[in-house]
Structure 1
Amino acid sequence: MKIVVISDTHIPKRSKQLPDELLEEASSADLIIHAGDWQTAQVLEELSTFAKVEGVVGNVDGPELTALLPFKKVIEANGYRIGIVHGHGKGKTTEKRAIDAFCEEEVDCIVFGHSHIPVLRYEQDILLFNPGSPTDKRRQKYFSFGIIHAGESLVARHIFFSAKA
């Protein structure tokens, strides 16, 4: 199962459209996860033309998106439990807030965003994955998003690229 993972698209503030690199991967996705800061429901609608979309709202998402999406959720993908949260809040790091959001639940993976900093590491047996941002790299060298393959195991990787849409 191929899962395309994105966060912090910030459309139309940071970009007018999703980048071609992302759309190309989305065209063969079985599932798309968005970890918040969409800024517009049009991003949800566009991604839904490629595959089922699971997502949460972030700190810049307005009433239109908060009416459609929760602040955190757990989904099942090919037998794996994936927690999704944006990661914003007060105190601690974004990563620590994301971990704390699922401290009462059993998950195999936590997908989060907010910092725009790509993360791929394990905390004990939990895969922590922040895809970065495909439209607003901030202080990062590259724009990015991620792919998780859910098969015999969960295998995650980042897709880095330099051109903005």
Structure 2
Amino acid sequence: MKIIVLSDTHMPKKAKELPSCLIQDLKTADLIIHAGDWQDSSVFSMLSDFARVEGVHGNVDDEEMKNMFPAKKIIQAGSFSIGIVHGHGTGKTTERRAFETFLGDQVDCIIYGHSHIPVMKYSEGILLFNPGSPTDKRRQQHYSYGVIDASGAKLDAKHIYF
């Protein structure tokens, strides 16, 4: 199961279309996860042309997006339980807020966004994964998104930088 992981697309403000390298990966996706700050529902429509889309809303998303997506979600991908949250809030780091959102939940992976900083590490046996942004790199050297293979005995995650 190939999962494409996105966050912080901020479209159409930061880009009018999805990057071509991302589109190539989307063509072979089984599932797409978006961790919020879509900015506009047209992003959901674009992504839905490729595969099933799961996601949450972020702090810049409007009421339409908040009605479409919750603030927190847990999904099953193959044999894995994946928590999704944007990660915004006050106090603590984005990573810590994301992690604490799922305290008491049984998840194998937590996908979050907000900071636009790619992260891939384990904390207390849980994979923490921030894909960065494919359209708004801010202070990062590269744009990025994530690819997770959920078909094996363990999640195999990586960032795609461009």
- Partner residue in 2 for 1:139: 139
**Segments ≥4 residues shifted beyond 2 Å:** none
Secondary structure of 1:33's aligned partner? strand
Displacement of 1:124:
1.7
TM-score (norm 1): 0.97
TM-score (norm 2): 0.98
CA distance in 2, matches of 1:125, 1:100: 14
Secondary structure of 1:129's aligned partner? strand
Alignment of 1:73-88 (within 5 A): 73-88=73-88
Alignment of 1:1-165 (within 5 A): 1-150=1-150, 151-161=152-162
Letter in 2 for 1:29: A
Secondary structure of 2:68's aligned partner? coil
Among the aligned pairs, what percent are the same residue?
Answer: 60
Unaligned stretches of 5+ residues in structure 1:
none
> Aligned-residue CA RMSD in angstroms?
0.5
Unaligned stretches of 5+ residues in structure 2:
none
CA distance in 2, matches of 1:129, 1:116: 11
Displacement of 1:17:
1.0
